[in-house]
Amino acid sequence: MRALVLLIAVLLPAVPLFSQQDEEDASPYSEMKTLARAMELVRQDYVDEDKTDYRELAYGALRGMISELDPHSDFLDPKDFKGMQEDTRSEFGGLGVVVGMKNERLTIVAPMEGTPGFRAGLLPGDVLLEIDGQSAEKMSLRDAVDKLRGEPGTMVRLSVGREGQPQAMKFEIGREVIKVPSVRGARILGDGAPGPRIGYVRVSQFSEPTGKEFARALNSLEKQGMDALVLDLRFNPGGLLTTAVEVAGEFLPGGALVAYTEGRSPTAARRYLAPGKGRKPRTYPLVVLVNGSSASGAEIVAGALKDSGRALLVGERTFGKGSVQSVVSLPDGSAVRLTTAKYYTPGKQLIHERGVAPHILAPMTAEDEAALLAARRRDELPAGSGGAKAPHVEDVPLQRAVDALRGVLMHGREGQAEQK
């Protein structure tokens, strides 16, 4: 046997690992033969002739190819591409939930406050099992979003899996046009108790008017004698990047770097700077609350304020959604939506799939998070409307944030006394 193995080794010519032919074949055209042959086989032998149209076969191949890259890249046929363009120009009905892929499962990142999904009791981390009776197990992210959207007033039926619940939970929710205030709960904490006046404001998402709403809230708190601020970005799923940059810019000098992108192409490199070059930022002590449902724009704000040394971050590591999708139209009216870059914080920290880590770790249990969201739902009910009493919430991260700000203020006053 050994002699036979040696004889075969002698007879076989030596093959280099990489040949000139390999370099020549590193082009899409060499693989077109395989694709074209497979399409011909389908056309020739597939049992259902009405499914063998060349264009549909090509579109199917494109969908498969692009969807294998990452959950945020996909192929849009002409109808889908036209629909996407119309969505950017008009209002549409939806549930107000942000959905992402986590552990290869369609997962609710966060329900936006004041929306049908929020009022119905959907929670961050809920896994979509069915949408209108159709299994979501192999559904793409885009298909899931398309099914959740629809005409305002129509209903959508959901089956979701929730940690700690042995059975799937059923929801039937009416779609609405999603237009809700994004700056909420602005107040001075402590009910007039003696000591420093610590302000609180929550930003639930980054929509077009958020920047102006946020500035008005800060101006109001400052007129009330605010000494320091807690900015709550928990359960904030993101939104408009330009608005997130505006919010971060309230606390950074004009022209300061908020975030930047990098990709394979030089055109993917962009820098996002705080607006108003030469403008003076607000300088009082600041803590930003974050958790695992703080995503996208919320992570950009948190990362910029952390890396610049402008704020302490309290809570949990953020979600880790920090990629840029570019839509490129194709000659036949279809398009490719492709991830072309990733976001980085000013300190060169990658956000995508890593998130932003807090300075002070202050986790909440799933039960406490659910109670906090239930209390927020209760706060939105009209006065005197009754309903179940909001559960008591031990908001440990907020308490830690207030303690940190009191310590900073106390240290600052002691330093001033020593200088005198």
Known catalytic residues are 296, 307, 321
How many helices and strands, by DSSP H and E, does the chain display? 12, 19
404: left (phi over 0), alpha (psi -120 to 50) or beta: alpha
- The pair of structure tokens assigned to 290 is 């974050």
What span, in angstroms and rounded, lies between the C-alpha atoms of 243 and 206?
A: 6
What span, in angstroms and rounded, lies between the C-alpha atoms of 89 and 199?
A: 37
What span, in angstroms and rounded, lies between the C-alpha atoms of 104 and 110?
A: 17
DSSP 50: G
What span, in angstroms and rounded, lies between the C-alpha atoms of 134 and 140?
A: 13
With tokens 């602005």, the residue in question is 186
CA distances from 359 to 148, 201, 233 (A): 37, 20, 15
187: left (phi over 0), alpha (psi -120 to 50) or beta: beta
CA angle 209, 215, 216 (to 5 degrees): 90
What span, in angstroms and rounded, lies between the C-alpha atoms of 220 and 187?
A: 9
Between strands 198-203 and 228-232, the pairing is parallel
DSSP 411: H
Neighbouring residues of 319: CB distance < 8 A, sequence distance ≥ 6: 100, 109, 292, 293, 294, 295, 296, 299, 355
417: left (phi over 0), alpha (psi -120 to 50) or beta: alpha
What span, in angstroms and rounded, lies between the C-alpha atoms of 103 and 110?
A: 16
Closest Cα to residue 289, out of 232, 248, 360, 235?
232
DSSP for 232-258?
E-TT---B-HHHHHHHHHTTS-TT-EE
